[in-house]
Amino acid sequence: MKKEKLNFLIPKKEDNLGQWLIEQGISAGFPSPADDFKEIRISLDKELVKNEEATFYARVSGDSMQGAGLENGDLLIIDRSIEPLNNKIAVCFVDGEFTVKRIKIESKKLYLIPENKKYSPIEINEENELIIWGIVTYVIKKL
Amino acid sequence: MFALIDCNNFYASCERVFNPMLNKKPLVILSNNDGCVISRSNEAKALGVPMGAPAFKYQSVFKKNNIHIFSSNFPLYGDISNRIMNILSSFTPNIEIYSIDEAFLNFKGFDNYDLEKYCEKIKKRVLKWTGIPISIGVGPSKSLAKVANKICKKFPKKTHGVYIIDSNEKRIKALKWLEIENVWGIGFKNSKKLREIKVKNAYNFTSLNDNWVRKKMTVVGLKLKKELEGESILGLEEIRPQKKAIATTRSFENTITTFKNLEERISTFAICCAEKLRVQNSNCNSIYVFVKSNKFKKSEYQYRKGIVMATPFSTNSNVVISKYAVMGLGKIFKPGIKYKKAGVIITGITSDKSYQITLFENEKTKHKKLMKTIDFIQKKEGQNKIKLANQDLKKRWKMKQEKLSYNYTTKLNEIIKVK
């Protein structure tokens, strides 16, 4: 067998003519003094909706809760996960319609109290079919 | 242990949350274009309305029994489903969303928990937060969880919506109760085969010889047997595999007779499929197109035909998929037929990553860019803002949704009103 000679290829030495590339660039200005103090901008969504999965919205129609600041056309934020306790304002389904009223529990009786003298309280007894649908947590109104 | 959570009569229950007047009343939900029944309240089931009942045939039954009818409101159902799945995720890190109204939970490592109480808590929370009643079946394997869920549904009063198969006695009792046809994933062919050898219920099935099952029903059948025996074989599919087929099919409100009108529909269906492909970063290489006459009108000439069109290269371009779908239609279209239904089904789906370049014919590279631009614009400006010229440019085709309820959770001007 014929022996082959190995040729070694050696890189040629050259002067280093190149320059380092600084990809990010070097900015000459003064860095923003606020950079270390960045915060997330206020989000009403986060503030008003504590439980995304249980939050629904409703529109007020009528003036039965005027005294509590709920007026015709206002937007209600409703959280279904909150327990319906005495004095809470709740969206209820009673006698075939949705209504918003204050819950009152007095001597083992349940009342839905409007906050407008034009309307009278609703006493809940066995004949009414009542669903306490959710608790109102915020009212949004347009001025 | 695995749990299968299933929302009771999901679509009907969603409608009831925002319309509690419907509680305890019979109601049905119709499919797209108000074609047939796809969800029934228990009351409607009791009145004998079958699943899939064609709406026009049952018009008098609906009227006579005061059955409330709704068009399907998928924006609403989708939103409620998301809420429920998020609530379920807070109970275990391992969840498989199986369908719009079903999810598997893995209770691995929950040995110290009283599962009965835990499930009760899940059920209560979902009902309180979203208004949707659910059933929970628990068992040592996914298949047994499914069986337990069936028991919940069949005996709601006894189980109160939670049933746990946690002993061998319970397992055997459940399997003896479950008819072979109703075993999850058994299939029509296999259950027929099993009936022939006097296998009537799931318990009979588990008493068969392993080798026989493997021989006659492949390894899939054997896996099922093991699962029913209480061995967990199937794991959670936490990341859903890409869809193997994508389809858009519709029944028409009025029949279509001309090629031009049918071409418009087929092109629109094809583009709808192409959009779904791009959402999951996939391509396809074959397109099935079909047309059907109205099978309920026996007096009319009946015609049904489908054709598979292979594209020369993998694609997800509106232009190419529409072109081949319409070409397919050209081959199966027969004049003089009153077409009632048509559709496009896309198969041979491959992911963008495994895209194969062919030697002779490839997609024009500008298509990818064009589709990107179209998707971007439609995302910003709304669907169907850009169309191909063979699509209807006026809004002539609108889905028939005569009994549509409001989008109570996704449109601010459609939320409930309270007095």
Q: Answer with the residue of higher pLDDT: A6 or A16.
A: A6
Q: Do A54 and B129 touch (CB under 8 A)?
A: yes
**CA B114, CA B117: separation in Å to the nearest integer?**
6
Q: Which residues of B touch A133 (CB under 8 A)?
A: 20, 131
State yes or no: pLDDT of A12 exceeds 80.
Answer: no
The answer to whether B382 contacts chain A (CB < 8 Å) is no
The confidence band for B106, taking pLDDT boundaries of 50, 70 and 90, is very high
Taking the CA of residue B405 as centre, how many other CA atoms within 13 Å lie in the half-sphere pointing to its CB? 29
The confidence band for B394, taking pLDDT boundaries of 50, 70 and 90, is low
Closest Cα in chain A, distance from residue B156 (Å): 22
Give the residue from chain B lying closest to A56, CA to CA.
B409
* Placement of tokens 């002779």 in the chain: B360
Name the token pair of A82.
Answer: 């909150």
Q: Do A133 and B417 touch (CB under 8 A)?
A: no
State yes or no: pLDDT of B43 exceeds 80.
Answer: yes
The answer to whether A96 contacts chain B (CB < 8 Å) is yes
Q: Do B419 and A133 touch (CB under 8 A)?
A: no
The confidence band for B63, taking pLDDT boundaries of 50, 70 and 90, is very high
Closest Cα in chain B, distance from residue A92 (Å): 9
Q: Out of B47-51, B190-194, B313-317, B351-355, which region has the weakest mean confidence (pLDDT)? A: B351-355
pLDDT of the residue at A1: 55
Which of residues 29 through 88 in chain B touch A, CB cutoff 8 A?
83, 86-87
Residue A122 is given by DSSP the state E
The answer to whether B13 contacts chain A (CB < 8 Å) is no
pLDDT of the residue at A127: 83
A32 is a catalytic site residue = no
In sequence order, which residues have a C-beta less than 8 Å from that of residue B331 and are 6 or more positions away?
Answer: B307
Q: What is the DSSP string of B259-314?
A: HHHHHHHHHHHHHHHHHHHHHTTEEEEEEEEEEEE-TT-TTSPP-EEEEEEEEEEE
The confidence band for A69, taking pLDDT boundaries of 50, 70 and 90, is very high
Taking the CA of residue B195 as centre, how many other CA atoms within 13 Å lie in the half-sphere pointing to its CB? 12
Q: Do B416 and A59 touch (CB under 8 A)?
A: yes
Which of B218, B223, B210, B155 has the alpha carbon at shortest distance from B184?
B223
How far CA A79 is from CA of A90, B133, B323, in Å, comes to 9, 18, 50
Give the residue from chain A lying closest to B21, CA to CA.
A96
Q: What is the mean pLDDT of residues B173-190?
A: 91
- Helices in chain A by DSSP H: which ranges? 44-48
The confidence band for B83, taking pLDDT boundaries of 50, 70 and 90, is very high
Chain B interface mutation, best of A53, A76, A129, highest count of B Cβ atoms under 10 Å: A53
In sequence order, which residues have a C-beta less than 8 Å from that of residue B60 and are 6 or more positions away?
Answer: none
**CA B30, CA A92: separation in Å to the nearest integer?**
29
Largest interatomic CA distance in chain A: 117
pLDDT tens digits, residue range B159-181?
Answer: 999 999 999 999 999 999 999 99
How far CA A72 is from CA of A77, A140, B335, B400, B413, in Å, comes to 15, 11, 59, 34, 14
Which of A81, A16, A84 has the alpha carbon at shortest distance from A55?
A81
State yes or no: pLDDT of B382 exceeds 80.
Answer: no
Q: What is the mean pLDDT of residues A18-34?
A: 69
Q: Please tell me the pTM assigned to this model.
A: 0.77
User: Mean pLDDT across chain B, nearest whole number?
Assistant: 89
Q: Which residues of B touch A99 (CB under 8 A)?
A: 418-419
State yes or no: pLDDT of B358 exceeds 80.
Answer: no
**CA B332, CA B290: separation in Å to the nearest integer?**
8
A101 is a catalytic site residue = yes
Give the residue from chain B lying closest to A54, CA to CA.
B129
**Phi, psi dihedrals of residue B85, rounded to the nearest 5°:** -60, -40
pLDDT of the residue at B366: 81
Q: Do B416 and A58 touch (CB under 8 A)?
A: yes
The confidence band for B38, taking pLDDT boundaries of 50, 70 and 90, is very high
Q: What is the mean pLDDT of residues A120-139?
A: 92
Which of B399, B369, B401, B362 has the alpha carbon at shortest distance from B384?
B399
On whether the CB atoms of residues B141 and B230 are closer than 8 A, the answer is yes
The answer to whether B418 contacts chain A (CB < 8 Å) is yes
pLDDT of the residue at B244: 67
State yes or no: pLDDT of B79 exceeds 70.
Answer: yes
pLDDT of the residue at A60: 96
State yes or no: pLDDT of A17 exceeds 70.
Answer: no
The answer to whether A55 contacts chain B (CB < 8 Å) is no
State yes or no: pLDDT of B12 exceeds 90.
Answer: yes
Q: Which residues of B touch A80 (CB under 8 A)?
A: 128-131
Q: What is the DSSP string of A69-95?
A: T--TT-EEEEETTS---TT-EEEEEET
Write down the catalytic residue from A5, A61, A64, A118: A64
The answer to whether A140 contacts chain B (CB < 8 Å) is no
pLDDT of the residue at B295: 82
On whether the CB atoms of residues B340 and B255 are closer than 8 A, the answer is yes
The confidence band for A35, taking pLDDT boundaries of 50, 70 and 90, is confident
SS3 at position B56 = coil
* Placement of tokens 């990553």 in the chain: B353
Q: Do B417 and A58 touch (CB under 8 A)?
A: yes
**CA B8, CA B168: separation in Å to the nearest integer?**
27
pLDDT of the residue at B397: 61
pLDDT of the residue at A26: 64
Write down the catalytic residue from A101, A108, A120, A142: A101
The answer to whether B129 contacts chain A (CB < 8 Å) is yes
pLDDT tens digits, residue range B247-287?
Answer: 888 888 888 999 999 999 999 999 999 998 888 888 888 89
SS3 at position B242 = coil
Query: Could you count the other beta carbons within 10 Å of the beta carbon of residue A124?
Result: 19
Q: What is the mean pLDDT of residues B316-331?
A: 92
Provide the ipTM.
0.77
